Amino acid sequence: MRILKLFGFTSRSEKIERALEKGAIIVDVRTPQEFKHGHIKGALNIPLDRISSQAGKLAAKNKVIITTCRSGARSASAAAMLRSAGMDAINGGAWTSLRGMVHPNTKKAS
């Protein structure tokens, strides 16, 4: 891994950490029902089927967007859509994993 850093490669978690330090916006693309049952504090809930229609509002914020969902599949699609619209978007993967990066002292639900 160290050799990759010499050539400017960084891991996804490093990109996410840097983006969070710079005020990135977390967008949870799960359904409102899923979001209601648990989410990252401060995350916006924009379901995947509404990402395209909300892209302009997100772009206006001029911040890196970190997408998240239950497993990482929907967030990957959302990040790709946002990137194709010209935004800087990172797939944050599963919200439960990302939550640990955003709020490191949060205990996992048992």
* Mean predicted lDDT score pLDDT of the chain: 89
Query: Is 71:94 a contact under the CB 8 Å cutoff?
Result: yes
- Give the per-residue pLDDT at 103: 73
Choice among 30-34, 78-82, 106-110 with the minimum mean pLDDT: 106-110
Q: What Å distances lie between residue 67 and 24, 33, 93, 95, CA to CA? A: 10, 17, 7, 9
Number of Cβ within a 10 Å radius of residue 74: 22
For 37, the token pair is: 């049952």
Query: Is 64:88 a contact under the CB 8 Å cutoff?
Result: yes
- Give the per-residue pLDDT at 7: 54
Averaged pLDDT for residues 21-36: 97
110 pLDDT exceeds 50?
no
> Domains along the chain?
11-102 (3.40.250.10)
